[in-house]
Amino acid sequence: MVLADLGRKITSALRSLSNATIINEEVLNAMLKEVCAALLEADVNIKLVKQLRENVKSAIDLEEMASGLNKRRMIQHSVFKELVKLVDPGVKAWTPTKGKNNVIMFVGLQGSGKTTTCSKLAYYYQRKGWKTCLICADTFRAGAFDQLKQNATKARIPFYGSYTEMDPVVIAAEGVEKFKNESFEIIIVDTSGRHKQEDSLFEEMLQVSNAVQPDNIVYVMDASIGQACEAQAKAFKDKVEVASVIVTKLDGHAKGGGALSAVAATKSPIIFIGTGEHIDDLEPFKTQPFISKLLGMGDIEGLIDKVNELKLDDNEELIDKLKHGQFTLRDMYEQFQNIMKMGPFGQIMGMIPGFGTDFMSKGNEQESMARLKKLMTIMDSMNDQELDNKDGAKLFSKQPNRIARVARGSGVATRDVQELLTQYTKFAQMVKKMGGIKGLFKGGDMSKNVNPSQMAKLNQQMAKMMDPRVLHHMGGMAGLQSMMRQFQQGYQFSEGAMATFPEFIAQNEERDGVRFSWNVWPSSRLEATRMVVPVASLFTPLKERPDLPPIQYEPVLCSRATCRAVLNPLCQVDYRAKLWACNFCYQRNQFPPTYAGISEVNQPAELLPQFSTIEYVVQRGPQMPLVFLYVVDTCMEDEDLQALKESLQMSLSLLPPTALVGLITFGRMIQVHELGCEGISKSYVFRGTKDLNAKQLQEMLGLTKPTAAQAGRGPQAPQAPLSNRFLQPVQKIDMNLTDLLGELQRDPWPVTQGKRPLRSLGSAMSIAVGLLECTFPNTGARIMTFIGGPATQGPGMVVGDELKAPIRSWHDIEKDNAKFMKKGTKHYEALASRASTNGHIIDIYACALDQTGLLEMKCCSNHTGGYMVMADSFTTSLFKQTFQRVFTKDVSGAFKMAFAGTLEIKTSREIKISGAIGPCVSLNAKGPCVSENEIGTGGTSQWKICGLDHNTTLAVYFEVVNQHNAPIPQGGRGAVQYVTQYQHSSGQKRIRVTTTARNWADAGTQIQSIAASFDQEASAILMARLAVYRAETEEGPDVLRWLDRQLIRLCQKFGDYHKDDPNSFRFSETFSLYPQFMFHLRRSPFLQVFNNSPDESSYYRHQFMRQDLTQSLIMIQPILYAYSFNGPPEPVLLDSSSILPDRILLMDTFFQILIYHGETVSQWRKAGYQELPEYENFRHLLQAPVDDAQEILHSRFPMPRYIDTEHGGSQARFLLSKVNPSQTHNNMYAWGQESGAPILTDDVSLQVFMDHLKKLAVSSAA
């Protein structure tokens, strides 16, 4: 977009208001200073800039403002109005009249782009249905007629001119007369220009004007001259009656802002602006939409004009199809054609609110257009039956040969056709659901009176089918809803278009993957300890960012040995001296020679504010292959073993050809299979009762020892793989390994009655760790362990082989009656330590009805970033789908998994790192930013994270160390930098750097500012992780008491109340949900082990300690949706009062997706009403929660357990155990009690919990 740099700077200045905790005179002046500096850089007249500043200051009187007003919005609105006034001449522009001759005469200096602009304007009106023509009366410049002739011919616009006649007055008069006689509506006359303002030029203009009697004289102005436009425009206006101005070359000059404001000062309305060299690079100029678009708030009016230009004759037919939920492949093809007609993607995106000027680079735009053309080419190879089939993709799935035929016909791979069909299916599903929204379509068009519930449902469906990159740039669901409202109601400026504080938190999470407990930090150690909730962050190192392309060079580091921070947008830069100051240690550093060309207008990406998160590709070093080692238990039933073998064979087809694969099987004995042997199966057999170290294993398997060069690389350097026969490329042994897996048999050792099979799990895992230790030290690799029962012999055994001796329970552990537990745990902890040291991941897939020993083995997954999956059997879809999703790929075709990661954190001097909680181990890196007070895995600033995916999230805890008597200057900010190094699935080594900062505040005078910055969702998860971490080593009741004390202290610190008066207690909005989260956390399986086995508790805690904030909140407080005939689906309270007879409930606990049918609905379903045609609406009601559940099941990892139950059903207990028991058997008959299902429990309800909390918080004795 034009003036993009100016728009960015002004938007950045306005958004700085959202970062400020208190809006005072100082903040206002700082913001205005930035706005004025941006305008002056754009060559706007200093008098106009000064006037803008004075107008804003006079309109905003902070002292006189009422306390309830939103000061940020009022300031932003005032600046918006003044910017509009700056470029608005206050004169209505001339518009042509349809059906009559409209003569438009162009004047201007030579070189301003006048002839090109004539052609552009003619083409603009021609596209809008006007009958247009061109006349070349420019006889002064050689080649003017040829240029106009060429442009007109390309655009198929009639033209008139002469090679022989040299009098421009004669040419103009003859041309106008000719075209008037032919009833042309827009007649554009191009006149001669000059190199400068001359009397001869003005004389000629007057003569032509008198001859043709123009309805409008347009002056064409070159934007590159900036403020000088004003004098030039006035000179032309004084000589001829200039009615309109077109400003050209706005796309290539920083002085465009000066040009626009200068012309506006002459009171000559600007009607169009030139934005490029192409014939369609001409935009109508309207002041409000222009400023709105400049600030990234979109131009809905312009977008609607674009859509109207398409003249969709078949719109009514399409709307009729949408009304009935129909959408064929041909419909999608036609919509693609319409998109192509609308113009450049970048221009269209800039018109949509929230996308901003930087949404689509030229490269991305070309890629998107090419992708669209490719999809259309594929559809060109489809026949009419396929394009018009109502079942769409089902026809292809029933007859796969059609996919192959279309792929051959369009010259693409079959996967490209399948990708198209997948995209089409998403469109069709959304259309089907749009058609099901009652009242959405009225009279063949979309109703403008769509109610909020209809709009919410439509927004949800749109969000699910949209590209995540698009949704992200729109500001998530909130941005989508805003856009939908604007489309429905028409364009208007929104005072709230700038980011609010909650939006600031959401934007930071989307951009950087960081959520802090406090977004304004107390400025001293003493104040921080009184905040109760520590300063901490939830950090997702590989937050999915499809819009973040990796940079093909390495980061610039601070030269101080104890710092080594990465260059980032918070650093101070001296562009003249080519120096930068580290914002962490204040060391001044010289830029490397490759940065010699940087300047204020030519900045590297790492200095731009929008690149607070940036990813680098390390060019040096070899690209390592992916390594997968399967460790398979054969002591299981034949049905389970067969299902597992099929899943493993399937996984081979999902691996890249260069990936290395190995296989170890175990029962009573352990077999390490040699791969690549033609004709025979060869394996090395080991006893399951003996533990082998890496050196012994290396000698027994005959593996080559590392060379001296390899050995000298150091313990953390990736080493070239040793030549071995046990890990081979998939492309080499695909068929052999598939056959080998197919031939696997159940463990042949007999199992006598009353005994368990002898399962050497601990030894098998030890051999797997040792094999990778010998062959791929310090290189990303994945051990995938599949177990069907507990280890019953050898190291790591968790239970004996006698069935009469059950595996340990929580009761046994409390009584210290688990004789294998300590020794088994010690064995697996040693394996986890060895694996994590070398960057190897251990996944555990435990599928059995009884416990398998996850409690003892949990450290293998927790310390290496591996997956832990628990299911009843390998035959279940829960295991099969989850295992398949391990190999999911992103939009670029790379696996959504990363290997051998490390995280390093750097902080400002006033804050130190206490520790981290998550799937990581310490690297024991001491430094100046490491705190003495440890929380979680502390005493270090670096952690090893062997396995990561896009959801892997760590909780990082900080300690404010600044002393109370050393105040931080006003406006100071504390900074944190997260540096994540990892091996990408492509084999590249990458470094992702995230740098973020928050304001300091004095808790003595600015406690309200700190309170307003509280992120209760992030804080709840951070405190929950801390509680779960403590629960691993402390007694359960002690952890609950600690959690309660922290909650009471928080209420006392930030609640508003009168002493000893519980009824007076109030919490501000930023804290209101926090006690509710704590209530549900206390009842969760993370802290309550009752009715859960030790393995189940380990599994639940493992998932909670690695998932992101959204998923973690669902685990603590499940989501409940209600479906009924009373309205569309809606979220309801997680409360027993929500359980009604005529409702269907859908509960998402993360681990389970449960559909519960109320008593009445259950009776109707049993009676079979849904099968009768007259009760089709009931069938739809039953199907709605199933469809929504399927969407969750298809996307979540690991796949949740699906439960379908009803009133009185045995599995209804899962719902009853989660809801707040507001109605129990004790109060179900109380007067005024709401209807709902009573819960037979002695647990306290949320209301009782809150009443008791208030009583303790306000107590004088507390």
Q: What pLDDT score does 254 carry?
A: 55
The class of domain 102-286 in CATH terms is alpha beta
Q: How many other C-beta atoms lie within 10 A of the C-beta of residue 194?
A: 17
Q: Which of 700, 646, 627 is nearest to 670 (CA)?
A: 700
Using DSSP's 3-state secondary structure scheme, residue 720 falls into coil
| The domains spanning 4-87 and 631-698+756-799+807-884 adopt the same CATH topology | no
Q: What pLDDT score does 979 carry?
A: 98
Dihedral, 932, 937, 942, 946 alpha carbons, nearest 10 = 170
Q: What pLDDT score does 772 carry?
A: 96
Q: What pLDDT score does 47 carry?
A: 76
10-residue mean pLDDT profile of the chain (1262 residues): values are 62 69 77 82 76 82 59 77 80 88 90 89 90 92 85 90 89 94 94 70 85 91 76 76 84 62 72 83 81 59 52 52 67 74 53 44 56 82 85 77 83 80 74 50 41 45 42 39 38 39 87 96 94 98 89 94 96 93 95 90 89 93 91 97 96 93 97 85 93 92 61 46 77 92 95 95 97 94 98 97 95 94 97 97 97 98 98 96 94 91 97 98 96 97 97 98 87 94 94 97 91 96 98 95 97 95 93 96 95 97 97 97 92 93 96 97 95 93 95 94 95 94 67 60 89 94 70
Using DSSP's 3-state secondary structure scheme, residue 992 falls into strand
Tell me the per-residue pLDDT of 1147-1202, one tens digit each, with 9 for 90 and over. Answer: 999 999 999 999 999 999 999 999 999 999 999 999 999 999 999 999 999 999 99
Close Cβ partners of 991 (under 8 Å, ≥ 6 residues apart): 554, 555, 566, 615, 616, 618, 979, 980, 981
First-to-final CA distance of the chain = 61
Using DSSP's 3-state secondary structure scheme, residue 151 falls into helix
Which CATH architecture group holds 306-465?
Answer: Orthogonal Bundle (1.10)
Q: Are 1046 and 1023 in contact (CB under 8 A)?
A: yes
**Long-range residue pairs from 1207-1214, CB within 8 A, at least 24 positions apart, any chain:** 1207/1141, 1207/1156, 1207/1157, 1207/1158, 1207/1159, 1207/1162, 1207/1237, 1208/1159, 1208/1162, 1211/1154, 1212/1156, 1214/1147, 1214/1149, 1214/1152, 1214/1154
Buried b / exposed e across 287-315, counting CB within 10 Å, b at 16+?
bbbbbbbbbbbbbbbbbeeeeeeeebeee
Beta-sheet strand order (sheet of 579-581) = 572-574, 579-581, 588-590
- Determine the angle formed by the axes of helices 1016-1031 and 1074-1083, rounding to 10 degrees: 30
Close Cβ partners of 170 (under 8 Å, ≥ 6 residues apart): none
**Long-range residue pairs from 1123-1126, CB within 8 A, at least 24 positions apart, any chain:** 1123/1181, 1123/1184, 1123/1185, 1124/1181, 1125/1177, 1125/1181
Strands (E) in 494-622, as ranges, are 514-516, 520-522, 536-539, 572-574, 579-581, 588-590, 613-618
Q: Which of 544, 543, 546, 519 is nearest to 533 (CA)?
A: 519
Q: What is the three-state SS of 850-904?
A: CCCCHHHHHHHHHCCCCCEEEECCCCCHHHHHHHHHCCCECCCCCECCEEEEEEE
Q: Alpha-carbon distance 1111 to 916, whole Å?
A: 19
Using DSSP's 3-state secondary structure scheme, residue 709 falls into helix
DSSP states of 608-670: SGGGSEEEEEE-SSPPPPPEEEEEEE--S-HHHHHHHHHHHHHHHHHS-TT-EEEEEEESSEE
The class of domain 508-620+894-1013 in CATH terms is mainly beta
Per domain, the residue ranges of the chain are 4-87, 102-286, 306-465, 508-620+894-1013, 631-698+756-799+807-884
Give Cα 1067 to chain centroid, integer Å. 31
The pTM score is: 0.65
631-698+756-799+807-884: CATH topology: Rossmann fold (3.40.50)
Q: Are 1048 and 569 in contact (CB under 8 A)?
A: no
Using DSSP's 3-state secondary structure scheme, residue 1108 falls into coil
Q: What pLDDT score does 443 carry?
A: 41
Q: What pLDDT score does 623 carry?
A: 86
Judge residue 805's burial from the number of C-beta atoms within 10 Å of its C-beta, 0-12 exposed, 13-18 middle, 19 or more buried: exposed
Q: Which two tokens stand for residue 391?
A: 């079942």
Judge residue 892's burial from the number of C-beta atoms within 10 Å of its C-beta, 0-12 exposed, 13-18 middle, 19 or more buried: exposed
Pick the CATH number of 4-87 from 3.40.50.170, 1.20.120.140, 1.10.10.60, 3.40.50.1370: 1.20.120.140
**At 385, which helix (H) or strand (E)?**
helix 384-388
